Amino acid sequence: MNGLNGGNVPAMVTGYPTPAGYQAELAYIYNMVEVLSQQLAENKRALEDVVASVGRVRSRARIQSLGNEDLLTSAADELGSQEANMDTTISLLTELFERAKFSRDEYRNLSAQYASVIAAMLKQFHDYKQKHMADVAAWHRSYRAQLAEERAENTRLREQIWEMQAHAGKANENLRQFRTKYDEDRARWEKRVDTKAMRQELRFWKRMAMPELPDDDPYWSDDDDLVDHMEKLRLHELERKAAEEALAGVGGMDQGMEGLGHDASQSMQLQMGGVPMQREDSSGMGIPVLPPRPSSAASTGSSGQQG
């Protein structure tokens, strides 16, 4: 028993919740109704027997053409034999009738109690529904208020972000203007160009003075550890030529090794911009001619052109 439509309740009330305290009373009512139905069926059968007996008497009188007195005389014995059964049946029917009236009153009382219980349940259900709707409405109002606050906060943060972006853009524009003004100074620009050219020329003379260092040595990078564009192009060109010479000289590496080394040294000297510096010998020769200025010096700003 869980208080919701027990197993003894017919399918007529299926789907309606019943309190657990009234389940026994409802079962008693349904049992009483079932007993009354059985008794009515028995009464119907007894009445059918009486009607059948009357029919037999009438058929006998019709066949024998008997009058009322003769019919009564012939049926007296049969009626006398059934008198005891009739008294018993009448007493039984009277008792059942009284019991049915009592059961009817009890059923009416139980039905009234059941109706009152259902009304109380409906009232509780309506109260709960009203309270639930009020709580849901209050929750929705609170949620909308919080949502409005969050939207306002989001709007405020977006405005702050927009202001920060505007300030950052203005600062970037000021920085660009400053750099433009800074580069427009002719004396400062010429100083930067001369400094760059001086560094490149110094690196060139170092190459002339130290031919034993390879071209890819990090010593030849700029003083600020940034290799300029022309230096990268020159190193890449040297690597390409070395690869081509290696591929071309695979078959004849043993032949003319000395001449190949001499030509390679001459080509290296030409790529470096001239011949290595030589001291004045005892033959009385003058100061050697200086090699030409490297092309990298003019490509990185030594020509004095901006851009």
User: How many domains, the chain?
Assistant: 2
Residues of the domain holding 121: 11-133
Domain membership flag for residue 128: yes
Domain membership flag for residue 31: yes
| Non-local CB neighbours of 179 within 8 Å, separated by 6+ positions | none
The radius of gyration of the chain from alpha carbons, rounded to an integer in Å, stands at: 63
Query: Average pLDDT, stretch 66-75?
Result: 69
Say how far apart CA 247 and CA 265 lie, in whole Å: 18
Please report the pLDDT score of residue 19 as a whole number: 59
The candidate with the shortest Cα–Cα distance to 193, out of 30, 304, 68, is: 304
- Chain segment 131-178, per-residue pLDDT in tens: 999 999 999 999 999 999 999 999 999 999 999 999 999 999 999 999
Please report the pLDDT score of residue 257 as a whole number: 52
Please report the pLDDT score of residue 120 as a whole number: 93
- Same-domain check for residues 222 and 119: no
> Which pTM value belongs to this model?
0.30
Please report the pLDDT score of residue 153 as a whole number: 96
Please report the pLDDT score of residue 148 as a whole number: 95
- Chain segment 263-302, per-residue pLDDT in tens: 555 555 544 444 444 444 444 444 444 455 555 444 444 4
Concatenated DSSP letters of 66-90: --HHHHHHHHHHHHHHHHHHHHHHH
Does pLDDT of 193 surpass 80?
yes
266's tokens: 């001459």
- Same-domain check for residues 15 and 112: yes
Do 200 and 297 contact (CB within 8 A), yes or no? Answer: yes
Considering 133, 148, 163, which residue would you say is the last residue of a domain? 133
- Chain segment 20-35, per-residue pLDDT in tens: 556 777 777 888 888 8
pLDDT classification of 17: cutoffs 50, 70, 90 = low
- For residue 277, what is the DSSP state? P
**Percentage of the chain exceeding pLDDT 70:** 63
- Chain segment 79-124, per-residue pLDDT in tens: 666 666 777 778 888 888 888 888 888 888 888 898 999 999 999 9
pLDDT classification of 1: cutoffs 50, 70, 90 = very low
88-96: list long-range contacts, CB under 8 Å, 24+ apart: 89/46, 93/43, 96/39, 96/43
Say how far apart CA 284 and CA 281 lie, in whole Å: 6
- Same-domain check for residues 296 and 217: yes
Residue with tokens 């059934």: 82
Query: Burial code of 183-199, b = ≥16 C-beta within 10 A, e = fewer?
Result: eeeeeebeeebeebbeb
Please report the pLDDT score of residue 81 as a whole number: 64
Domain membership flag for residue 199: yes
Residue 53's Cβ-count burial label (10 Å; 0-12, 13-18, 19+) is: middle
Domain membership flag for residue 300: yes
Domain membership flag for residue 185: no
Distance of CA 109 to the CA centre of its chain: 59
Please report the pLDDT score of residue 79 as a whole number: 63
| Non-local CB neighbours of 27 within 8 Å, separated by 6+ positions | 6, 8, 9
Domain membership flag for residue 3: no
Say how far apart CA 305 and CA 297 lie, in whole Å: 12
Domain membership flag for residue 255: no
- Same-domain check for residues 99 and 16: yes
Please report the pLDDT score of residue 232 as a whole number: 74
Please report the pLDDT score of residue 102 as a whole number: 85
